[in-house]
Amino acid sequence: PTPTSTNEATAQTAARATACLREACKIAQADPVVEAVDVEFTYPSGARALDGVNLAIGRGDLVAIVGQNGAGKTTLTRHFNGLLRPSSGDIRVLGRSAQGVHTIELCRHVGYVFQNPDEQLFCTSVQEELRFGPTNIGADPGATSQRVEEILADIGLTKYREVWPKYLTKGERQRLALASVVAMDPDVLIVDEPTTGLDWVESLQILDYLERLRNEHRKTIVIITHDMNIVSLYARRVVVMAGGRVVGDGTPREIFSQPDLMELACLRRPPIADLSQALWGEVLLTPADAAAKLLASRPTNSGVCSK
C-alpha cells in the first residue's frame, strides 16, 4: 500500500474506534447507575458550588471528571454517596432517588476513595482495614475473609497483611485505601486524585487495578483528576467542569480537540496531543498512536532494488 492509502486507513480506523466508543457511552448513559438531575448546591458559607448539573454515568464505564480547583468536581461526586446533599435537584442511584436514603445505604452502592489515604485508614493492620467496611455493613464474615484475601493478592499487598498501615509507603497506602473500599463490593467507585504524590509506576499500579475492576467485574469507575496523561490513557469518557457546571462531555479525543473548551476549564492537554495536531492535523492520545502514525507515513522502498 502507498503511504497515502495507509494514512487514510489509519484515520478511518481511529474514526471508527471513536464512533464505537461514543456509541458505547450513549448506551451506558441510557441505563445510568448514578445520575445528577438539575443539581444545585450551596455551602453554608454561601459559596455556590454546583449550578444546575445534569450528568448520567452508566454501568461499566470509566469516566474522568476534570476541571480546575473549585470547578465542582469533588462537590458533585460527594453527592453520589450521600456525603453531601443537594440544595435543589435530585441524585439517583441505581434508578432510585437518594432523597431520604441513609448515607450508609448509599455507600453500599457507591464507594468513595479520598485524595489523602490517611483520611480513611485507621485500623492497626492492613487486613483489618479491609475487614472494617464489610463488617460495618453487615457482610457475611466467611465471605468477607475470602474476599479480603483475594483483594490483597490482586492489589499486591498480601505480604503486608499484618503491617500497621502507617508503615506503608504513600503508594501502598493509596492502594490500601482503594482496596478497603473495593472490599465492600460497591457498584460504583469514585476515586479522587488517585495518583497525587505518586511516581509513574505507582500510578500505573492503581490505574491498572481500576481498569481490571471495570473489565472483569463491570464496576463503574469515576476518576477525579488534573492529570491529562491519565485521561488519555485510561478514560473512556471525559466530563469537563467549570464554575459548578458541566461544560464538556465526550471521548478524550473529542475533548482534546476543542482548544476553547480546554482553555475555559484551565486544562492543558497531553504533549502528544499538541505534537500530533501540529504534525498531522489530528489529535492522538498516546505515544503508541503517534508511533503507528509515523510508521504509516514513511515512504515505502518498493521501488528500490535490494542490491
From CA 124, how far away is CA 74, in angstroms rounded? 29
From CA 58, how far away is CA 31, in angstroms rounded? 6
Residue 273, in any domain of the structure: no
Residue 288, in any domain of the structure: no
Is the predicted pLDDT of residue 280 greater than 50, yes or no? yes
Phi, psi of 161, deg, nearest 5: -55, -35
**206, 174 Cβ separation under 8 angstroms:** yes
Could you give the 3-state DSSP secondary structure of residue 79?
coil
pLDDT tens readout for residues 222-260: 999 999 999 999 999 999 999 999 999 999 999 999 999
**107, 186 Cβ separation under 8 angstroms:** yes
The tally of domains found in the chain comes to 1
The whole-model pTM stands at 0.86
Q: What percent of the chain has pLDDT over 90?
A: 73
Q: Per residue, what are the HEC states of 246-282?
A: EEEEECHHHHHCCHHHHHHCCCCCCHHHHHHHHHHCC
State the residue range of the domain holding 209. 3-268
From CA 264, how far away is CA 179, in angstroms rounded? 35
From CA 46, how far away is CA 216, in angstroms rounded? 43
Residue 115, in any domain of the structure: yes
Could you give the 3-state DSSP secondary structure of residue 89?
strand
Q: Which CATH number covers residue 55?
A: 3.40.50.300
Residue 190, in any domain of the structure: yes
Residue 196, in any domain of the structure: yes
Residue 279, in any domain of the structure: no
pLDDT tens readout for residues 117-150: 999 999 999 999 999 999 988 888 888 999 999 9
